[in-house]
Amino acid sequence: MEVFPCMAVTRYRDSMNKTLDTPARDGFIMPAEWAPHTRTWMCWPCRVEAWGGAEAMLRAKQAFARVVRAISTFEPVTVVARREDAAEAKLATSCKAELLEAPLDDSWARDIGPTFLRGPAGGRGAVQWRFNAWGNKYQPYAHDAVLATRIAEAADVRVYDAPLVCEGGAIHSDGEGTLLTTEQCLLDPNRNPHLTQRQAEERLMLYTGARRVIWLGEGFSDDETDGHVDNIACFVAPGRVLVGVPSSPSLPDTEPVKEAIRRLREARDAAGRAIEVIEIEQPARVRFDWRGRPLQASYVNFYLANGGVVMPSFDDPNDEKARAVLADCFPGRDLLQIDALDIVEGGGGIHCITQQEPAAP
């Protein structure tokens, strides 16, 4: 694994032949998810194709609503919904969320919403990544491609347009300058075919304020997002990374996960710390989605709210073991476990449908 130094930021600015107005230059950084939030943003499901039919999407809406109600016990929630869906969203969530009416193509707030930033003197910002529907897997996506800017404007924060095709689920931050991502996603020709790994890393650093990027390789079986890191690994504290480990060595992600763990153990974060790897066993039951593909159920795909952890359950023997692992990772937080199978049927999990807006210091 090669980790490129901070000098890359300067080279990138020089290659563009101008001084870029970027978050890193302006002192912004992507905070950790465990930092205090002002609110959580979500989007109401609207693309029937993602779930394979109206009945499955109805079940997904019910599951989304359960997540809204769970998070609302910890912090405010705002749900973005199309005008024609606003009344349904309000009723389903029992008025536990504010609504923002806006055009939508899909419902994965982590990926189509902004990556929020914190800056000097309490300032906040947001990144509008280039969005192409996970490598042009769905059409249309024009509304989702500008949703991050709509949300940032509603939150009254400055928006930075990043020259990189990226989704929020593709990156994870420790809040202290270290970023996790995968080669499989950001280096896929369907995202950034014109960029080398070094160039992609330079852009990540410029627009998240990261000083170190740890790449976790490829070969993961997730065809929907091409290996989003939020289904594989996440920081649970600076210097500590939780990794989802297949429950059987015969499962397809076994070797890619072993390689990810090897890279993490050899890496150092932006502060020079070695990475402690915490393993969490993934669901024991192998299920398939409506397309016949392996269901990407992951205990890593949880959400941190103010004072709480909203995590998935999958009607699986490993649900309780996963709960115990997360309880150890986040002592003092309340854990709420939500049946997430109907969400995962659409291609994502609880983390994928949420996006935190950090509080000002």
Which residues are part of the catalytic machinery? 352
Q: What is the DSSP letter of 120?
A: G
Specify burial of residue 94 (Cβ count, 10 A radius: 0-12, 13-18, 19+).
exposed
Phi, then psi, of 259 in degrees rounded to 5:
-65, -40
Look at strands 172-173 and 240-245 and give their pairing.
unpaired
Look at strands 308-313 and 334-339 and give their pairing.
parallel
Buried b (16+ CB within 10 A) or exposed e, 145-166: bebbebbbeebebbbbebbbbb
Provide the angle, in degrees to the nearest 10, between the axes of the packed helices 7-15 and 197-208: 100
CA-based Rg of the chain, rounded to a whole angstrom? 19
Q: Between the CA of residue 319 and those of 46, 48, 112, 208, 304, what are the distances in Å?
A: 29, 28, 29, 33, 18
Write out the DSSP string of 62-112.
HHHHHHHHHHHTTS-EEEEE-GGGHHHHHHHTTT-SEEEE---S---HHHH
- Find out whether 82 and 44 touch, Cβ atoms under 8 Å: yes
Nearest to 231 by CA among 260, 197, 262: 260
Quickly count: other Cβ atoms within 10 Å of residue 87's Cβ: 11
Q: Between the CA of residue 82 and those of 44, 61, 214, what are the distances in Å?
A: 8, 14, 37
